[in-house]
Structure formats: C-alpha cells, structure tokens
C-alpha cells in the first residue's frame, strides 16, 4: 500500500496525536472503553478515534468495534470531523458521526478543551450473528460523555440548582449547597454556560455492511431487497421480498430500474459522457494488461491505444461495449444494444439524484470493479482489497492517476462523475415502477429477463 500512503490516498487526513497530554487523555478513554492502553508516544487517529498504529500494536484492527455492531469512538478534538473513517462495518457510520459532531460542535469543542469525550453508536442488536439480524438494526443512538463525566455531572447540577431554587429553605440546606459547589468545581457555572450532550438517534434505513462478505440492505423501498456479494446459499432465510447476489445481473438491473435508482451516463444531466466513457475504457485496458502480464509503457492514452491494437480480438467485452457507446455519443455509430446481460452494462450507469445516491453508486462500483476511480471514491474498503492483488505496474498507474486526477479537486471530480450533491427535494423517497428508459424497445420487464436502456431508439 506504499504508493497509496505516500500520495495521501490511504490514511490521508488522519489527526496526529503527539503531545503527552493528548496521549494521556487518549489512554484514559481507551482504558475506559476497552481496558487496554497504548505505549506509543505518538500516533494518528481517524474520525472515530481509531488509530492504525495502535491497531498494529494491539494486533486488533477492531479494538473500538469488537462485535462489529456498535462502534465506539474517542474524540480528542472536533477537528476529527474532517478525518476519514477506517475499517467501516456499516456505510452509515461516517454520516452519523459527522452529524453528531456538527450538531454538537460548540459543546464538544468546550468539552474536549478540558477532557476527552468517549461514546458509542448503539444499534438495536449487540452482535450480528446471522444475515437476517441485519434487519433488526433499525435505529442507531449516539451517546457520549467525557471520561470525567462532565455531561452527567452538569445534568445533576442543573437538577440540584432547580431544587435549590424551588425549596423555600434551600439556602439553609448545607448538604445540598456543598454538593452543588463540589459539582460546580468540575462543570463550571452551568447557569451561564450550560453543558448538554443529549443522546441522538438516527434511522438505519438502506445501508451496506461488510458483514458476511458484503451485503446491501434496501428495506426502505417499494420493493425491499438484499443484494449480496457472496452466493445466496451462504445467507440463509432473509426477510426481504427479493434476495440476490452479484451473479443475478438481470434481476439486479430489473430491481434498480423498477425503483428508479439509476440513469444512463449518456443521458445524465451535465455529464461529459465522452470523457467518462474514455476513462472507463482506459481502466479496462489497464486491468487487461495487469491480468495478462502485458507491458503498458507509460500508460498514457497513446500507449493504451497501442495495447488495444495488440489485444485485437482479445479485447474485453466491457471495452467493446463502451467503445460502441462512445461511437454513438460522438455521432459515429448507431444506438448501442447493451442489455443487462452484457458485461459492460453496469459501467454505463450512475445513480439518480436522491437520498440513496451514494449507496447505489457504491453498489454499481462493485458490479463494475474495473472502474477503479469510482471504486476508490465510493467504496474504499473494496478498492483496498482489490488493490492488494494487482501487479506493481497497475498499482503505480492507479495511484498516480488518483493523485493527479482526483486528489487535487475531489469535489469537482465527484460532481463531474455523479452530479451535484442531493438537495432537499431529492431526498424524498423514490417511487416504484419501472423507469421509462428501461422499457424503451424492450417490452415488458420479466424477472430474470435481460433489461437495459440500449435496446432500441
């Protein structure tokens, strides 16, 4: 992973912890949550306070998430809100932690100035021991306090003050006054500077989890579905109308269309379809060279074109399908016929705007894994897994490309590929029914039948 780390593509934007005071605070929280501590004098932490260096030291990458169901967190600073979240078990965790920090930033800033804050993302289950248990996770509650209990003490002091003010003889109650003074020494004047960090709950609607090889759970849909990376035989019974694995391409395409979750790149508003298609084709050629052990030269587009000539009849079907589409985009060919049975099909789509846009793009990235840019942006866990199996030439090419074409303007790249961030109007639930483009020239959609926008024009 050295190419990624050196270019800030892995472990980038982590927060450095090097002062003795902050290291001591971190150890207090670590002992409180796990009963363990670190001997390191400096390390880096992510959004949740997880440190890859401490994970290596303890031999446990999940020391803050031992059951994989209820992630614990350690906040030394509100600056952690801009750090990545490592070792993700649920796709919703980063958004939940970010919202918690954003909504309580002033309080957390004041609290972390005096102590470390620790807490937990509490789901409705204690462990995920079967795929069906994923449907029991309907809400995640975030609870947190300083290790010194400042929030709890402030709440207690506020009640004592209320009691003092409400009792006619309260000023004579020496025990009450003494308790108030003792608490005020820890919390300060809560009448002037209130301390409050209420528990916050978040609905766990549609999500991805790394459990059981990777599963997408879409339950807040007109037609709930589960889509798994591994074969259905490994899942057991699931409480969903449709259960599919990645081998069920036609069924997945049908379900995405009926729920109006995707759109063709060539019809997407504001997308430079030609540029996007060309880059996808480059990635497919690089992947072919990696698998066949072919030299790529400097891997510039000219060299990749020579590689395409060398492959000739051996060009991947994904490349040929996108090339056919590119010819149509540039006015040099007929409307392509690419159904969901075609290997290029999922490379031709992106998620429609809406509340599940990022989750759908994450799914599409796994169904079209040779598009390494989309895989890196939307599904880093899968990207790092695939990266480990590439040869040195592909690792270097991909790392250089992402550093050059993505790192310098992340927001611009995301908008060019996926469109603007969803607005409030886009967050309404999607309606059922097949998308109109999916029906064009294909006839009725039957479960298991090949579908797609490229059937006719």
Return the HEC string of 382-407.
HHHHHHCCCCHHHHHHHHHHHHHHCH
Is the dihedral angle over the CA atoms 335, 340, 344, 349 positive or is it negative? positive
**Residue 45, strand partner residues:** 15
- Which range, 194-208, 331-345, 369-383, has the best average confidence (pLDDT)? 369-383
Q: What pLDDT score was predicted for residue 436?
A: 27
Q: Is the pLDDT of residue 182 over 70?
A: yes
CA dihedral 122, 13, 372, 88 (to 10 degrees): -10
Note whether 55 and 5 are within 8 A (CB). Answer: no
Q: What pLDDT score was predicted for residue 125?
A: 83
Beta strands in 265-364 (DSSP E): 349-351
Note whether 171 and 322 are within 8 A (CB). Answer: no
Q: Percent of the chain beyond pLDDT 70?
A: 84
Q: What pLDDT score was predicted for residue 146?
A: 82
Q: Is the pLDDT of residue 428 over 50?
A: no
C-alpha dist (Å) from residue 36 to 24, 26, 28, 42, 300:
13, 11, 9, 16, 50
List, in order, residues 6 or more apart from 408 with CB less than 8 Å away: none
What does the pLDDT average to over 356-381? 96
CA pair distance 142, 97, nearest whole angstrom: 8
Q: What pLDDT score was predicted for residue 24?
A: 96
CA pair distance 450, 397, nearest whole angstrom: 35
What does the pLDDT average to over 418-440? 45
Which helix (H) or strand (E) segment is 209 a member of? strand 207-209
- Which range, 144-153, 235-244, 375-384, has the best average confidence (pLDDT)? 375-384
Phi and psi angles of residue 45, each rounded to the nearest 5 degrees, phi first: -130, 155
Q: What pLDDT score was predicted for residue 433?
A: 32
Q: Is the pLDDT of residue 401 over 80?
A: yes
Q: Is the pLDDT of residue 37 over 60?
A: yes
Q: Is the pLDDT of residue 87 over 90?
A: yes
- Which range, 48-52, 190-194, 239-243, has the best average confidence (pLDDT)? 48-52
Q: Is the pLDDT of residue 424 over 50?
A: no
Note whether 231 and 215 are within 8 A (CB). Answer: no
Q: What pLDDT score was predicted for residue 193?
A: 54
What does the pLDDT average to over 268-294? 90
Note whether 321 and 343 are within 8 A (CB). Answer: yes
Residue 143 token pair: 């609870």
- Chain-wide mean pLDDT for the chain? 84
Of the two residues 37 and 408, the one the predictor is more confident about is 37
Q: What one-character-per-residue DSSP string does 43-108 give? A: EEE-TTS--HHHHHHHT-TTTT-TTSSS-EEEES-GGGGGS---S-SBTTHHHHHHHHHHHTHHHH
Q: Is the pLDDT of residue 432 over 60?
A: no
Q: What pLDDT score was predicted for residue 228?
A: 95
Which helix (H) or strand (E) segment is 16 a member of? strand 15-17
Of the two residues 291 and 27, the one the predictor is more confident about is 27
Q: What pLDDT score was predicted for residue 359?
A: 97
Of the pLDDT bands very low, low, confident and very high (cuts 50, 70, 90), residue 164 is low
What does the pLDDT average to over 392-410? 90
Of the two residues 103 and 441, the one the predictor is more confident about is 103
- Which range, 95-99, 141-145, 266-270, has the best average confidence (pLDDT)? 95-99
The structure's pTM equals 0.84
Residue 303 token pair: 């060299």
CA pair distance 322, 336, nearest whole angstrom: 9
Is the dihedral angle over the CA atoms 443, 445, 450, 455 positive or is it negative? positive
Q: Is the pLDDT of residue 50 over 50?
A: yes
Q: What pLDDT score was predicted for residue 360?
A: 97
Q: What pLDDT score was predicted for residue 20?
A: 95
- Reported residue count of the chain is 457
Beta strands in 258-340 (DSSP E): 262-264
Q: Is the pLDDT of residue 445 over 50?
A: no
Q: Is the pLDDT of residue 147 over 80?
A: yes
Note whether 242 and 258 are within 8 A (CB). Answer: no
CA pair distance 246, 252, nearest whole angstrom: 8
Of the pLDDT bands very low, low, confident and very high (cuts 50, 70, 90), residue 153 is low
């Amino acid at each position: 992973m050295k190419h990624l780390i050196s270019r800030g593509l892995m472990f980038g934007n982590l927060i450095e912890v090097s002062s003795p005071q902050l290291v001591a605070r971190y150890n207090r929280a670590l002992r409180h949550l796990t009963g363990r501590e670190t001997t390191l004098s400096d390390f880096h932490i992510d959004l949740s306070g997880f440190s890859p260096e401490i994970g290596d030291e303890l031999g446990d990458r999940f020391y803050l998430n031992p059951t994989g169901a209820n992630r614990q967190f350690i906040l030394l600073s509100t600056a952690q809100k801009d750090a990545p979240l490592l070792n993700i078990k649920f796709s919703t965790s980063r958004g939940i932690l970010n919202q918690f920090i954003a909504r309580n930033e002033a309080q957390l800033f004041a609290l972390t100035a005096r102590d470390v804050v620790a807490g937990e993302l509490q789901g409705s289950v204690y462990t995920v021991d079967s795929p069906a248990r994923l449907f029991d996770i309907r809400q995640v509650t975030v609870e947190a306090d300083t290790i010194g209990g400042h929030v709890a003490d402030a709440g207690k002091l506020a009640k004592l003050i209320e009691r003092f003010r409400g009792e006619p003889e309260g000023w004579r109650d020496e025990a009450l006054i003494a308790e108030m003074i003792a608490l005020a020494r820890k919390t300060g004047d809560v009448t002037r500077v209130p301390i409050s960090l209420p528990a916050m709950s978040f609905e766990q609607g549609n999500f991805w989890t790394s459990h059981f090889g990777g599963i997408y759970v879409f339950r807040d849909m007109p037609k709930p579905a589960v889509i798994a990376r591994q074969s259905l035989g490994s899942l057991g019974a699931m409480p969903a109308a449709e259960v599919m694995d990645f081998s069920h391409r036609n069924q997945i395409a049908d379900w995405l269309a009926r729920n109006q979750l995707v759109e063709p790149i060539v019809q997407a508003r504001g997308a430079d379809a030609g540029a996007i298609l060309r880059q996808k084709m480059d990635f497919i050629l690089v992947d072919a060279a990696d698998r066949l052990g072919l030299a790529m030269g400097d891997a510039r587009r000219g060299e990749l074109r020579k590689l395409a000539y060398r492959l000739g009849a051996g060009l991947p079907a994904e490349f040929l399908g996108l090339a056919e589409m590119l010819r149509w985009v540039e006015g040099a060919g007929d409307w392509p016929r690419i159904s969901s049975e075609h290997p290029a099909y999922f490379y031709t789509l992106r998620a429609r705007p809406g509340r599940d846009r990022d989750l759908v793009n994450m799914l599409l990235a796994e169904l079209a894994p040779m598009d390494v840019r989309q895989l890196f942006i939307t599904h880093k866990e899968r990207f790092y897994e695939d990266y480990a199996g590439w040869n040195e030439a592909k690792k270097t090419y991909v790392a250089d490309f992402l550093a050059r074409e993505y790192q310098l303007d992340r927001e611009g790249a995301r908008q060019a590929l996926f469109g603007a961030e969803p607005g409030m109007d886009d967050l309404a639930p999607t309606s059922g029914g097949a998308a109109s483009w999916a029906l064009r020239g294909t006839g009725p959609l039957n479960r298991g039948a090949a579908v797609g926008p490229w059937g006719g024009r």
